[in-house]
Chains A and B, each alone.
Chain A
Amino acid sequence: MGHYLRSVTVIATESLSKRFPRVTALDRLSVDVGPGVTGLVGANGAGKSTLIKILLGLSPATEGRAEVLGLDVATKGADIRERVGYMPEHDCLPPDVSATEFVVHMARMSGLPPTAARERTADTLRHVGLYEERYRPIGGYSTGMKQRVKLAQALVHDPQLVFLDEPTNGLDPVGRDEMLGLIRRIYTDFGISVLVTSHLLGELERTCDHVVVVDGGKLLRSSSTTDFTQTTTTLAIEVTDTDEHPDGTRAVREALHARGADVVDGGGGLPGAGHVLLLTAQGEETYDLVRDVVADLGLGLVRMEQRRHHISEVFKSEDEQRKEAVGHGS
């Protein structure tokens, strides 16, 4: 399979299919994944976990081929599993042992000699942000701490690649941000490539270099996040109010409308964000237009900035297009 396998390819699949008696979990999936943080996005049941199982060499594909780190999953499963880490979606921690004890055991299960297992465990737990609590039984940990232990056991043997299955599940917004930051660091600081699954597109946007979207076992889209988010530029504008225009935002919106620009409110339901207007920049003239309109109304321009599109918006519009196509077809 060398003809399409470049040296920079971490995961490569070629018409990979997995059929169960009643469902087709993967349908001729061909995708190349390079080093970096890659998001694997899809609704529940889209085939993400099935793909990870096949990539770990634990479940044979019905047809097609796959390679991980240049090793064929059908024949080199054990070698692959020595070089990759896996963090499952579900709970997998015994409550009556300490994080240190558990991670040391898992390090040895990956083939690390006893002394190295202890050293790597201490290092890894520190890197994921577990300190004194690592000597206490896991049963008393919060969800966020448990997720860190799960992550630590996947990293402790210094793999070249980790599979993280829904690592932000069950976390509160702060924990989610911390976990995403940690995932980013796994690549930037530790040099370990990451395949992270999520059913939420939005949260992968700032974390991943590349996003693969699967739906019903089929590849929907595979591209870098910059492709996703830089196809168009959105301008965010915020203005002051004056006595003449008590609602400056609305005045600007109406004025821009009058000049033919398409403007939407950028509030997104967030408190204090109701004063943000979003409009699509068509080029230099859009900036001039905004400057002129605001100056004409005598308002102060608090900010005007480029904003990246959310991946979800890209997909929402694609979904809508698909629905329209289906609608026209019927």
Chain B
Amino acid sequence: MAVEHPVATPAGDQTRIHNIGYRAYDGPRLGRAYARRSLYSQSLRGSYGLGRSVKSKVLPMLLFVVMCVPAAIMVAVAVATKAKDLPLDYTRYAIVMQAVISLYVASQAPQSVSRDLRFKTVPLYFSRPIETADYVRAKFAALASALFVLTAAPLLVLYVGALLAKLDFADQTKGFAQGLVSVALLSLLFAGLGLVIASVTPRRGFGIAAVIAVLTISYGAVSTLQAIADAQSLGDGGGSSGAIAWIGLFSPVTLIDGVQSAFLGASSAFPGGVGPSNGEGVVYVLVTLGLIAACYGLLMRRYRKVGL
């Protein structure tokens, strides 16, 4: 190379820089599974801006703090007032904070996949031992884990706070466990939806807008329809209360709400406070798991065609 740094130090100088030439690598090559794990950890770190510029740390960290602060306040209130119970159920927390979660998915799903498409880094990944399934799994798992961290951290704050306030241990542990199962499902579902939408466009802005639109518009529409159904059911003596439950299948947040009010002891946020019955709850679980699987399938299809 013409640009080799000249060695300007005088002869005999102990600190002289030597050009040691090329050294071959004969150490271990850890293969596909390791590469997939590396992509997972890099994507997970990236979801909180770690290993990236200061600017890209601001939003995820801010949202993380916003998620946790209300929990801390509730704990403080519970401890100070010596309340018998936390002001908010573990399972209800994510539903109340859904706007923050949606914003996080909208900002980080495109960060995770749209950038690779936009800067055409995807071909570099596929020129290495990993294959489509490895890429999709690593990205899916990374965003779901990031969301789990976001949604489980405030629950942990609540739980630790509840134990400090000497609330009933068994009761709190059960609630906390139910909350964790609920946010795990929510994380998988939101990550899947966010990634599918974001993987369609290399433009990050479109991705953000589309994810927000899908999550909030669906919730808005479903809540409005449920409210109308609720008003009508009051009019005709509770005849259409089943409609409220069925309508709830059509937005991710109400879907999770339905699953946890049917099986995880949550009180529903549906109008009238009536969640789906056990029979309807099974449908909710099936739809939720089906959606997660469908998102995975769609991502696999999306990346099958992406070669060099």
Contact = CB atoms under 8 A, between A and B. Distances in A.
A189 B24 CA distance: 11
B2 A178 contact: yes
A182 B2 CA distance: 9
A110 B25 CA distance: 12
A53 interface: yes
B307 interface: yes
A92 B119 contact: yes
Interface in B112-167: 115-116, 119-121, 123-131
Given A113-B30, A116-B27, A86 B127 contact: yes
**Of listed B31, B120, B124, residue having the most chain A CB within 10 A:** B124
Interface residues of A, number: 49
A74 interface: no
B98 interface: no
Contacts of A157: 25, 29
Interface string B1-37: 1111100000000000000011111011111101100
Contact of B120 (A53, A90, A120, A131): A90
Instruction: Indicate the size class of the contact surface on chain B.
Output: 35 or more
A264 B115 CA distance: 55
**Chain B interface, >50% SS class:** loop
Contacts, number: 120
B120 A110 contact: no
B81 interface: no
A101 B49 CA distance: 13
A102 B307 CA distance: 20
A82 B56 contact: no
A52 interface: yes
A78 interface: yes
A78 B129 contact: yes
B39 interface: yes
Interface of B: 1-5, 21-25, 27-32, 34-35, 38-39, 42, 51-53, 56, 115-116, 119-121, 123-131, 307-308
17 contacts: A56-B308, A58-B127, A81-B129, A86-B124, A88-B120, A88-B123, A88-B124, A92-B119, A93-B121, A94-B121, A106-B124, A116-B27, A123-B22, A129-B3, A178-B3, A189-B22, A190-B22
Interface of A: 49, 52-53, 56, 58-59, 78-79, 81-82, 85-86, 88, 90-97, 101, 105-106, 108-113, 116, 120, 123, 127-129, 131, 137, 153, 157-158, 177-178, 181-182, 185, 189-191
Given A53-B308, A86-B124, A105-B38, 18 more contacts: A85-B127, A88-B127, A92-B119, A108-B34, A108-B35, A108-B38, A109-B130, A110-B29, A110-B128, A111-B29, A111-B129, A123-B22, A127-B22, A129-B3, A137-B53, A178-B1, A182-B1, A189-B21
